[in-house]
Amino acid sequence: MAGVKQGFFEVQNPFSKIMHKVPADNEAVHSIVFWSKDYSPFLRGGYGTALIDTGYHLFFLFTINSESPILEPRTPPLANRLAALKELAEQFGPEAVTWRFDPICHFATEQGPQNNLGDFVSIADAAAACGVTRCVTSFVDVYRKLVTRTKALNNFSFTPPGPERQAEILLRMQKVLQERGITLYTCCENRLEGILPEDCGILPHACINHDLLEKLYGPGLSKKQDKGQRASQGCRCMESRDIGSYSLHPCKHSCLYCYANPEGY
């Protein structure tokens, strides 16, 4: 909110550490897209209402996965997150909210093979009750830092299924969602495009989706693809300016599969 008041956001490049300014006035900003696993502080603070009153358009990507003390040890209880989803949809409209069930994780512990799909149906029920019609998902990418991190755990390893098995999982998820009026989209999963049936209803997705934002809030966005994202893996995001900062807003969720937080845990 300080950036909004001063008319620009100060953003630090995470690699070069160089600071640069991003205009923040609502004439220069078409929409603000938020991405979080916990919107309760945002809702409690009334920040959304304040931003809308200032003239901004808001869109929310809300990652809600199954409860898992191994994968997401510090995310709020699922009931709290679903309550926040309902409040977001009521305050800002369900069309301005996309539910992300992301990533899908398969892993092995001393108890045997496991996954994080256990609460998927109940989350889908709650999302449908809120009027949310989009679910975006992907399978965990086991980056080098994840391998290093999990070596510190006893008897744990990620065990991602092969493409054919992944397609089967997505088709089962799609059936659940279709019955509830929700469309399933994939994020950076182009390796499955030749495996999934063409008419299955599962669509590739752009998380930063200019067509959707213009449909909601009117024209004014470019149609240029974001070259900084994983286009080779199927990323379809359009150009945007990332003003997020782990240093200014540290993430305490300690998700085992996280690759984004430069501070790790």
On the question of pLDDT at 228 being above 70, the answer is: no
Q: Is the pLDDT of residue 127 over 90?
A: yes
Taking residue 198's Cβ as centre, other Cβ atoms within 10 Å add up to 7
Share of the chain above pLDDT 70, in %: 95
Closest listed residue to residue 6, CA positions, set 21, 19, 27: 21
Q: What is the pLDDT of residue 181?
A: 99
Neighbour-count burial of 184, counting CB atoms closer than 10 A to its CB (0-12 exposed, 13-18 middle, 19+ buried): buried
Higher pLDDT, 259 or 74: 74
Looking at residues 231-257, what average pLDDT do you find? 80
134: phi then psi, degrees, rounded to nearest 5: -130, 135
Q: What are the structural domain ranges in the chain?
A: 2-233
65 CB contacts (<8 Å, ≥6 apart)?
A: 37, 71, 72, 75, 101, 102, 116, 119, 123
Q: What is the DSSP string of 192-213?
A: GTTTS-TTSS-EE--SS-HHHH
Q: What is the mean pLDDT of residues 170-184?
A: 98
Residues 1, 24: Cα–Cα separation, whole Å? 10
Topology adopted by domain 2-233 = TIM Barrel (3.20.20)
Q: Model confidence over 19-72: pLDDT tens digits? A: 889 888 888 899 999 999 999 999 999 999 999 999 999 999 999 999 999 999
Tokens of residue 257, six digits = 């599969």
Cα 172 to Cα 200: distance, rounded to the nearest angstrom: 11
Cβ within 8 Å of residue 110, ≥6 positions away: 154, 155
Q: What is the pLDDT of residues 83-105, one digit of tens each?
A: 999 999 999 999 999 999 999 99
Q: What pLDDT is stored for residue 28 in this prediction? A: 86
- C-alpha atoms less than 13 angstroms from C-alpha of 234 in its C-beta half-sphere: 16
Report CA Rg, the chain.
19
